[in-house]
Amino acid sequence: MPKVLRADNMNKCLGCFTCMLTCAAVNHNNHNLAKSSIKVKTRGGLQSKFAATVCVACKEPACAEVCPTNALVKRPGGGVRLIEEKCIACEKCVSACIVGSIHMDYDRKIPIVCKHCGACVRMCPHNCLSMEEVRE
């Protein structure tokens, strides 16, 4: 069965950002965590809890629906896959994603979209993140 990323245990988060650094490195060949598709931040200053913005793996992804060039295609289990060559960087997917999971990489002129690859999960020291099996 396909797997999708879940961030269900964020109360345990230390704020080390290793998940983001790993995602940016492995998926975007970049050291800047601004390139990460998982985004950890506080709910308002370090005295508050941490929250993670992740792709929730929609079965009917709005981002794909608004894409004028079919650069975003449904992936098994939910969410989307980006076909870079088809992307014209119109940014429609960014505003269509109401959980705020997609943002632009202006250097490469493509949206940063979670692949549900699980790299962030493997590098989370507190098991805040997990990969969950889902039906297609």
Partner 1 sequence: MIGTDFIRVLYIDLTNKKADIQERKDLYKYLGGVGVAAKLLEENMKKDLPPLDEQQPLIISIGPLSTIFPVVTKAVATFISPHTGEYGESHAGGRLAMAIRNAGYDAIVITGKAQKPTYLVITDKTIEFKDARAMWGLDVEEVGRLIREREPGPGKRSIIRIGKAGENLVTYSCVNVDTYRHFGRLGIGAVFGSKNLKAMMIMGEEDLPISNLKEYFKTYQEIYKKVTQTDAMAKYHELGTPMNIKVLNAINSLPTKNLLQSNFEHADDISGETFAEKNLIRKVSCVGCPIGCIHIGQFRREFDKGYEYESIAVSYDHELIYALGSLLGIKTTDEVLQIIEEVELAGLDAISTGVVLAWATEALKKGLITREDTLADLEFGNTMEYIKAIDNIAERVNEFYYTIGNGLKEAVKKYGGEEFALLYGGNEMAGYHTGYAFALGQTVGARHSHLDNAGYAYDQSAKELKDEDIIDYVIKEEKERAILTSLCICLFARKVYDRPTILKALNSIGINWTDEDLTRLGNDIFFTKLKIKKELGYSLENYKFPKRIFETPTLWGKMDEQKLNRLLKMYIERVEREYENWSRGK
DSSP string computed for 89-127:
---HHHHH-TT---EEETTTTEEE------HHHHT-TT-
Exactly one of 9, 10, 25, 94 binds partner 1 (CB under 8 A); which one?
Answer: 25
Stretch that binds partner 1, among 13-21, 54-62, 75-83, 88-96 (CB under 8 A): 13-21
Considering the complex, state which of residue 33 and residue 67 has its C-beta at the smaller distance from partner 1.
Answer: 33
Query: What is the SS3 assignment for 22?
Result: helix
DSSP H or E stretch at residue 80:
strand 80-82
Site for partner 1 contains 127 (CB under 8 A): no
Number of Cβ within 10 Å of residue 95's Cβ equals: 12
Exactly one of 2, 10, 30, 81 binds partner 1 (CB under 8 A); which one?
Answer: 30
Site for partner 1 contains 39 (CB under 8 A): yes
Considering the complex, state which of residue 15 and residue 68 has its C-beta at the smaller distance from partner 1.
Answer: 15
Exactly one of 46, 85, 133, 136 binds partner 1 (CB under 8 A); which one?
Answer: 46
Considering the complex, state which of residue 26 and residue 96 has its C-beta at the smaller distance from partner 1.
Answer: 26
Considering CB under 8 A, how many residues would be counted as binding partner 1?
A: 27
Contact present, 97 and 117 (Cβ < 8 Å): no
Residue 74, token pair as written in the block = 């449904």
Nearest partner of 54 among 101, 8, 94, 10, judged by Cα: 101
Residues that bind partner 1 (CB under 8 A): 14-18, 21, 25-26, 29-34, 39-42, 44-47, 106-107, 123, 125-126
